[in-house]
Amino acid sequence: MHDWQHHDVQIVVTDNGIGIHEEALSRLNQELRSVGMNDKLFRSSGPESNRNGIGLRNVQERIRLYYGNEYGLKVFSEQGKFTTVVMSLPKVLLTGRVGMNDKFDNRR
């Protein structure tokens, strides 16, 4: 289903709704791939860009700012059956907090 590394954490959310048309899904995934690849956030133009996928692009931008372009979101869908969003994050555990110093423990 995707090409992320096996040691990453993946959060998968699937619905049983009407799905996303293949063209729209392709456009959305292209926009998600572009987030973080340029100096500024890729934004599509046109009337649909104001109502579809803004939240996903915002989440994608935040994930990539914190963890890098190899992490983020990918959307899968089949019309009339489902839509699945997979979020890939590095396997990093935040452990404790002493003052202002966070400690990270990579548990690969």
Domain assignments of the chain as residue spans, ordered by start: 9-106
Q: Is the pLDDT of residue 90 over 60?
A: yes
The stretch 44-70 carries a mean pLDDT of 76
How high is the mean pLDDT of the chain?
77
pLDDT of 106 strictly over 70? no
Give every CB contact of residue 15 below 8 A, 6+ residues apart in sequence: 82, 83, 84
d(CA 33, CA 73): 8
CA dist., res. 7 & res. 27, Å (int): 28
CA neighbor of 53 nearest in space, from 62, 43, 63: 43
d(Cα 8, Cα 34) in Å, to the nearest integer? Answer: 21
Which pTM was predicted?
0.67
